[in-house]
Amino acid sequence: MSKTYVITGGAGFIGSNLAHTLAAREPDADITIIDDFRSGDFRNLEGFKGDLITADLSRVDLTPWFDDVKVDVVFHLASITDTTDHDQYRQCHDNIEGWRNLLGTFTSKKTRIVYASSAATYGIAAGINRVDQPQKPANVYAFSKVQLENLARQWSRSNPKQAIIGLRFFNVYGPRETHKLKASSMILQLAQQMLAGKQPRIFTAGEQKRDFVYVNDIVDFMLAAARADITSGVYNAGSGVARSFNDIVTNLNRVLNLNLPPEYIDNPYSFYQPHTEADLAETERALLTQPAFTLETGIDDYFASGWLK
Ligand SMILES: NC(=O)c1ccc[n+]([C@@H]2O[C@H](COP(=O)([O-])OP(=O)(O)OC[C@H]3O[C@@H](n4cnc5c(N)ncnc54)[C@H](O)[C@@H]3O)[C@@H](O)[C@H]2O)c1
């Protein structure tokens, strides 16, 4: 039987990749996107054949659209995604109230909900990131994600049969992120500098390490969460490997057939994460899936897609 899906933030980077993959794998599925285009882009939805509700999730009454509709899974990706936006009211209001609105609309219907949290909730503590370690959000974006998890936990306690599954995405890169400009992945930003003939600018001395995860793997984590035999919880969604910014430059020089050395600059951010690395043991146990891409194969696939430009 064909299924019905809702994707909030579906005009954005990860949401649009999810929408296209779902449509390709389940051609009969009904897919509705909710997005207010504050950071999304219609170009990401070229070829998309589903419905689109253009609205701010934190301010819209969703009842008229979903009152009589059975939705199988809601994927919640809508969020302010610029981590350097320090407007505390805007980040908290829009991210948290949008989430509360969605929970209120769908919890009573027993719809499974898969939502995006972030590795930013771990803060600047270096090392391997395990879901049970204390959260230390270093900016208001990360704080709002902690609140999403708190609200989900509270909601799950009152609705034990309701599946509400959070995924802490690490640093995602891949096709359809071009619209994010300075909030796009360092893989795209450095590739654009190099394609313009400039040396790639990274913070001294390029050995800070991040868990860079290819967007196809993130889509697979979300789809695994949609079918997993679990109720509620929060899981890491990364590659499971920490790689340096120097590694990115090496791989970009390889696929772009260039030989541009990095230009090292001082890091102006006090909330910068020096090392992130997803511990995936719980994710693999509960979601029965694991990432398929390394940094090398992810950058190869990105380049082959034609979006790395
Ligand atoms: N890209 C990453 O590396 C990364 C890492 C960790 C977490 N995340 C999370 O993944 C999700 C998707 O991020 P993305 O990288 O695709 O960013 P994005 O900015 O491309 O997508 C976010 C989408 O949400 C929409 N949106 C924002 N607020 C909204 C609101 N109140 N109502 C309706 N639509 C709204 C935007 O217009 C945009 O289309 C976000 O929740 C983000 O916090 C992303």
| Atom in ligand 1 nearest the alpha carbon of residue 141 | 43
Cβ 215 vs Cβ 175: under 8 Å: yes
Helix (DSSP H) and strand (DSSP E) numbers for the chain: 10, 13
Q: How far is CA 136 from CA 83, 90, 120, 151, in A?
A: 15, 20, 8, 17
Residues carrying CATH 3.40.50.720, the chain: 4-172+213-240+275-293
Ligand 1 mutation pick, 7, 21, 56, 77, max ligand atoms within 8 A of CB: 77
What is the 212 CA–ligand 1 centroid distance (Å)? 17
Q: How far apart are CA 74 and CA 57, in angstroms?
A: 13
Ligand 1 contact, 85 CB (< 6 A): no
Which residues, 6 or more positions from 6, have their beta carbon under 8 angstroms from its beta carbon?
A: 31, 32, 33, 34, 66, 71, 73, 74, 75, 106
Do the Cβ atoms of 200 and 250 come closer than 8 Å? no
276 lines ligand 1 (CB under 6 A): no
* Closest ligand 1 atom, residue 169 Cα: 6
Which ranges in the chain belong to alpha helices (H)? 13-25, 63-66, 88-92, 98-106, 140-158, 186-195, 215-227, 245-256, 281-287, 295-305
CATH topology of domain 4-172+213-240+275-293: Rossmann fold (3.40.50)
- Pocket probe for ligand 1: among 79, 179, 222, the residue whose CB has the most ligand atoms within 8 Å is 79
- CA 261 to centroid of ligand 1, rounded, Å: 32
> How does pLDDT run across 7-31, given as a tens digit for each residue?
999 999 999 999 999 999 999 999 9
Distance of alpha carbon 72 from alpha carbon 2, whole angstroms: 10
Q: Which atom of ligand 1 is nearest to the CA of 213?
A: 3
- Rounded Cα–Cα distance for residues 16 and 43 (Å): 10
179-212 pLDDT, tens digit per residue, is 999 999 999 999 999 999 999 999 999 999 999 9
Q: pTM score, two decimals? A: 0.98
| 137-167 exposure pattern, b = at least 16 Cβ within 10 A, e = fewer | bbbbbbbbbbbbbebbeebbeebeebbbbbb
Catalytic annotation, residues:
141, 180
Q: Is 38 in the pocket of ligand 1 (CB under 6 A)?
A: yes
What SS3 state is found at 82? coil
Q: Atom 12, ligand 1: which residue's CA is nearest?
A: 77
Query: Residues of CATH 3.90.25.10 domain(s) within the chain?
Result: 177-209+242-270+301-305
CA-nearest residue for atom 28, ligand 1, is 79
Residue type, 224: A
> Rg of the chain over CA atoms, in angstroms?
19
Closest by CA position to 84, among listed 142, 14, 27, 164 = 142
180 Cβ closer than 6 Å to some ligand 1 atom = yes
pLDDT by 10s per residue, the chain, length 309:
899 999 999 999 999 999 999 999 999 999 999 999 999 999 999 999 999 999 999 999 999 999 999 999 999 999 999 998 999 999 999 999 999 999 999 987 889 999 999 999 999 877 899 999 999 999 999 999 999 999 999 999 998 888 999 999 999 999 999 999 999 999 999 999 999 999 999 999 999 999 999 999 999 999 999 999 998 999 999 999 999 999 999 999 999 999 999 999 999 877 677 899 999 999 999 999 999 999 999 999 999 999 999
Q: How far is the CA of 267 from the centre of ligand 1 (A)?
A: 25
Rounded distance between C-alpha atoms, residue 247 and residue 296, angstroms = 9
Residue 14 near ligand 1, beta carbon < 6 Å: yes
Q: Which atom of ligand 1 is nearest to the CA of 98?
A: 31
Q: Does domain 177-209+242-270+301-305 have CATH number 3.90.25.10?
A: yes
Per-residue model confidence (pLDDT) at position 110: 81
